[in-house]
Structure 1
Amino acid sequence: MEIDRAEQYLVTQCIRRQGFRYWPLPVLSVPARKVGAYVVDDVAWARQYGYGRTFDSAAQKANRDHPNIAYAKALSKNQRVSYSRALDGTFTDSITIELPSGGSVRTPRDGCYAQAREQLYGDYPTWFRAKKTVTSLTPLYVPRILQDERLTSAVAAWSRCMTAAGRPFQSPDAIRRERESMIRGMTEEQALRSESALAVTEAECAQRTSLGKTTRALEAEYRNKVARDYAEEFTAYRQMRLSALTRARNL
């Protein structure tokens, strides 16, 4: 979070030096970062946030109403192009990497975001390659986790617990697939209340059956196995994040 805030600060200073205005984007809170886990196993979090609907709504509102959106729309066409280039850069000179799971990604070397990351991480191209490699490994190991007997046994136990509680779901994924249909026609308040009740039951069963702990342990195990083939990128990722944190605190 400190690095994210520092990045937004540096972007703001950069874009203003070029004659434009910019308002820092909101940084995800600690509770918001829990959204999207394979299974909810924090009862207190589930009771308060359900499946994170309030975070989804806040993100949609920010995308729609953030001052940066209104500011860009108010610019002339030529100014808008210049603003976009100043902020995000162009792909005339870009960094491209091949992903371990296939395909490639690229990003501009210029623009205020690139400059901010260069200041924070010390070497933006190296940081981009390390980050994209490290964060794109899930397709290489998630299928193995899903087939692991330790997970399938824990999911079966969790499902039995859910059924006994009057919530007959075979897996957490089944809840995710049916989530929207279950709250269709409800008001926002009703939807949050309904989802929170279900999420609490999911979390209680995840704790009783250790599904959450099992999932995290298996992810660490399989991720570490895959990571051995990308030790250089993992080392660079960790070291550059630590350096960026120090720089962020000194801004």
Structure 2
Amino acid sequence: MCTAAVLVAVAAVPGCTSPAGGPAPARTAQTGLRELTHAEQITVERGEELLVKKCMEKSGFKYWAGPIASVADRQGNGYVLTDIGWAKRYGYGSELDRRAEKARLGDRNAAYTRSLPKPDLVRYNTTLDGSPSHGVLSVDLPAGGTVQTTRDGCRAEAMEQLYGDFPAWFRAKKTAQSLTALYAPDILRNKRFKDAVGAWATCMDKAGHPYADPPEIRAKLHRLTRGLSPSRARDAEVELAVAEATCATTTPLVRTARSLERAERDKVLRRYREEMSAFQRMSLTALGRARTVTGDTP
């Protein structure tokens, strides 16, 4: 159980990582390994993009390494905000979302593909993402459902180079990232957790923000800032976010959630120790290889 990011299970966020500059996540007791920090994951994703670029150019296409989410983008997505400093700077991350959307719309790859004749576009897409006709990988998820991906293409080739075994990586990743769905409902139903959320709600009410739980804020945030000028909307968002994080850390909510998640996650990992071990081991392997590709130093 990672202690740097709180309530990742309840938020159904796959894995947990520490903020940049902080210590690496604690080793998982069942595997003796750890997951990557946000900064390390960024390095891996940059390495993957550079390998995809090299592969695409080898096939005669232009390719630009796409925008990658920053450390700040990867924080603040849990059940409840717990970092007051982050809340003061970003509120609930609305401005970060707008920046990400702007980057997506400005993606040079999208403009490039629009300029390609249809036959070249078809070949571009097949070169990048492979073709189901060449075979697919399929994984049955622990909580139900199945996910699939193509076996070939430059993306698959890049991951093969980073992780050493793309099919094994795909199976390990999809299994590990779906484990939260097995225990998150039990946390939400737990009386200790419900009592802790009640204490948080009392704290928020005293601060002038009467909400029953953090998800209610997220459901109503758009309406709360509708019609306000950008500066006033940001001020309102930040004020609410700071109150949420303050109440999360001054009431039993954070402490209770960490305790419950640790216990529930440990139960699940006993059943899926091999898959989690493979996920963590291959992630760390990919980090070392990505550093060589990108030139990043530890």
The aligned residue for residue 74 of structure 2 is: 33
Q: What amino acid is aligned across from residue 246 of structure 2 in structure 1?
A: E
The aligned residue for residue 205 of structure 1 is: 247
TM-score, normalised to structure 1, is 0.96
Quote the offset at 1:220 in angstroms: 2.8
Contact 1:100 1:136 in 2 (8 A): yes
The aligned residue for residue 14 of structure 1 is: 55
Structure 1 residue aligned with 2:176, among 131, 134, 150? 134
Structure 2 residue aligned with 1:158, among 176, 200, 203? 200
How many residues are treated as equivalent by the alignment? 251
Which whole-Å CA distance do the structure 2 matches of 1:19 and 1:217 have between them?
A: 53
The aligned residue for residue 79 of structure 1 is: 120
Contact 1:40 1:212 in 2 (8 A): no
Structure 1 residue aligned with 2:165, among 114, 117, 123? 123
Equivalent pairs: percent with the same residue? 46
The aligned residue for residue 4 of structure 1 is: 45
- 1:60 maps onto 2:75 in alignment: no
Which whole-Å CA distance do the structure 2 matches of 1:53 and 1:213 have between them?
A: 27
Q: What amino acid is aligned across from residue 238 of structure 2 in structure 1?
A: S
Quote the offset at 1:188 in angstroms: 3.5
Quote the offset at 1:210 in angstroms: 3.7
Which whole-Å CA distance do the structure 1 matches of 2:273 and 2:180 have between them?
A: 16
- 1:106 maps onto 2:142 in alignment: no
- Change beyond 3 A, Cα 1:87–1:213: farther
Quote the offset at 1:4 in angstroms: 0.8
Secondary structure of the structure 2 residue equivalent to 1:106: strand
- Change beyond 3 A, Cα 1:157–1:230: same
Secondary structure of the structure 2 residue equivalent to 1:96: strand
Quote the offset at 1:30 in angstroms: 1.4
Q: Structure 2: which 5+ residue stretches go unaligned?
A: 1-41, 294-298
Q: Structure 1: which 5+ residue stretches go unaligned?
A: none
The aligned residue for residue 23 of structure 1 is: 64
Contact 1:3 1:244 in 2 (8 A): yes
Higher mean displacement: 185-194 or 96-105? 185-194
Structure 2 residue aligned with 1:191, among 230, 233, 240? 233
Alpha-carbon displacement from aligned partner over 1:16-59 (angstroms, at most 9, x marks no partner): 11111111112221111113211001111001000011221122
Secondary structure of the structure 1 residue equivalent to 2:80: coil
The aligned residue for residue 95 of structure 1 is: 137
Question: Greater helix share, 1 or 2?
Answer: 1
Quote the offset at 1:9 in angstroms: 0.8
For residues 223-238 of structure 1, the aligned pairs below 5 Å read: 223-238=265-280
Structure 1 residue aligned with 2:220, among 166, 178, 181? 178
Which whole-Å CA distance do the structure 1 matches of 2:229 and 2:259 have between them?
A: 38
- Change beyond 3 A, Cα 1:186–1:78: farther
Which whole-Å CA distance do the structure 2 matches of 1:157 and 1:126 have between them?
A: 44
For the aligned residue pairs, the C-alpha RMSD in angstroms reads 1.2
